[in-house]
Homo-oligomer: A and B are copies of this chain.
């Protein structure tokens, strides 16, 4: 039906522009051109310099024949080239495909083949696995443009150059007057991110400019990503790898507010505390393993700070005891939740006013929940995946977390079946199991596949881990299902001990009996270092294999 509101009031160049984080970069160059975009070792570059480097890199890609909807892969840690790739590759209409540096050659080759990369930017320190991957491609290596990054800021032993030119030489051939491209449509792809593959083959998550713009604004609003005082700007320590979910989209958000990122090649307690102290860091995100690293640091590694530091943590649900210890150490911690498929965090544990002044343990319990949706996320529910009906908000009934809105991916690259599956019923199915509390805060109980079914009862491995983390000798814990003839499955606990601690297995079981129903108490307890992904997630599938082999 047309009426006066739909007549002569159409879109035009003055009142409509595709949403994209590239507008943030363009504005950062104009408004914050003199301010630092990142520091890395002794290197510091302003938003003006980063903008010019991005244009030149985009121009060089253009000269090399890379254009609209071509995939450009990059394998590197959080170094300047990886930061710039979040913008530069989109500026020629191409799609950035960040690759985890710790992947084996087979998986790298799989991603380069499946993602149909036209170019690969790769850090020479990883030339062994990348070189092997290039030898395995389902096409001639000449069809892939390879550009090497030779990092001058590290004294790690260098690897081999695999490509035809290095990043700086390639970029230098670009034209800083290049007419770089805004997306024609905000639905255009901006990034392709392969999920870490704790399941079978990695799936390629395709995200778009619209969602990248919105997740950045949502993050600024929620965290909030602001300086501590008027006239001050946020200083962001980039701990979340940029190859993981575009580093939760923080590079885009930082461009929008003109903040500075501190880039760090190797994440360890000493490097993190040094960065905090030297740059007066105000914000960072990290997996719970990073929090543990910081609270378990030696006196020699630790540095004091007396200003507020806002921290987002996600991935595995952190036990309340870890949350409590971390807050006590002076970090203002917020628990968030999301997936690569949702551009990172879209659920956050907002602190309500009435929580202020609560007794610390009770507060830690509340804070350990995943919480409520971001303002830019249209809807989140915990529902029965069969009926798609929300579970009662009783804090008890398990359901699957379902998400919908503009910060949900376009779908999986070249995988129609998986895309249709995950969007069944008009919601994105996360595969995470949670309960809904009566205050509308959700709490994850487990990944679907991590639930232990013992004698017909569901046992949450997260609940048992929460108890284990309270034990003074335990630094990290993971519980998986162990096949059992009588019960079907029984809980098996893997524990990483604090240095010098030496508890007996029986004492751990006894400790669990004090805190858990009998059927939930682990029947087996094993002390060992836990296998972790590059983003700090404990790899339960490795432990599960180990249990099955025994």
Contact = CB atoms under 8 A, between A and B. Distances in A.
A72 interface: no
A12 B423 contact: yes
Among A16, A218, A409, A423, the one with the most B-chain Cβ atoms within 10 Å of its Cβ is: A16
A11 B19 CA distance: 16
Interface in A371-426: 372-373, 375-376, 378, 403-406, 408-411, 413-414, 416, 419, 423, 426
A428 B14 contact: yes
Given A17-B404, A17-B405, A224-B226, A413 B5 contact: yes
A367 to B, nearest CB: 11
A529 interface: no
Contacts of A527: none
A116 interface: yes
Given A14-B427, A221-B221, A351-B231, A189 B404 contact: no
Given A30-B440, A31-B350, A31-B372, A95 B5 contact: yes
Interface stretch (A52-60, A193-201, A352-360): A352-360
Tell me how many chains of this kind the complex includes. Answer: 2
A73 to B, nearest CB: 14
Given A9-B419, A27-B375, A378-B17, A1 B68 contact: yes
Among A31, A189, A232, A428, the one with the most B-chain Cβ atoms within 10 Å of its Cβ is: A31
B3 A69 contact: yes
Interface in A518-536: none
B375 A256 contact: yes
A5 B206 contact: yes
Interface in A271-318: none
A24 interface: yes
A332 interface: yes
Interface residues of A, number: 74
A140 interface: no
Contact of A230 (B189, B332, B426): B332
A517 B221 CA distance: 47
Interface string A303-347: 000000000000000000000000000001000000000000000
Nearest to A2: B69
Contacts of A10: 410
Given A6-B69, A375-B24, A426 B95 contact: no
Nearest to A185: B6
A9 B332 contact: no
Given A353-B232, A404-B15, A423-B14, A9 B206 contact: yes
Interface of A: prevailing SS? loop
A112 B232 CA distance: 47
A439 B206 CA distance: 38
A442 to B, nearest CB: 11
A170 interface: no
A4 interface: yes
Contact of A404 (B13, B373, B411): B13
B406 A17 contact: yes
Contact of A15 (B31, B372, B376, B423): B423
Among A220, A226, A230, A409, the one with the most B-chain Cβ atoms within 10 Å of its Cβ is: A230
Interface in A481-508: none
A187 interface: yes
A204 to B, nearest CB: 9
Given A15-B408, A189-B5, A409-B15, A31 B423 contact: no
Contacts of A220: 220-221, 224
Contacts of A214: 217
B355 A231 contact: yes
Interface in A221-263: 221, 224, 226, 230-233, 256-258
A3 B94 CA distance: 12
Nearest to A341: B15
Contacts of A546: none
A69 to B, nearest CB: 5
Contacts of A188: 5
B9 A410 contact: yes
A35 interface: yes
B406 A375 contact: no
Contact of A217 (B15, B376, B405): B376
Nearest to A422: B14
Nearest to A29: B440
A8 interface: yes
Nearest to A415: B8
A68 B206 CA distance: 35
Interface in A102-116: 116
Given A5-B206, A30-B372, A440-B30, A13 B426 contact: yes
21 contacts: A5-B189, A5-B206, A6-B69, A8-B419, A9-B189, A9-B411, A9-B413, A11-B187, A14-B403, A14-B428, A23-B375, A23-B378, A31-B372, A217-B217, A217-B376, A220-B220, A221-B257, A226-B226, A231-B351, A231-B352, A233-B353
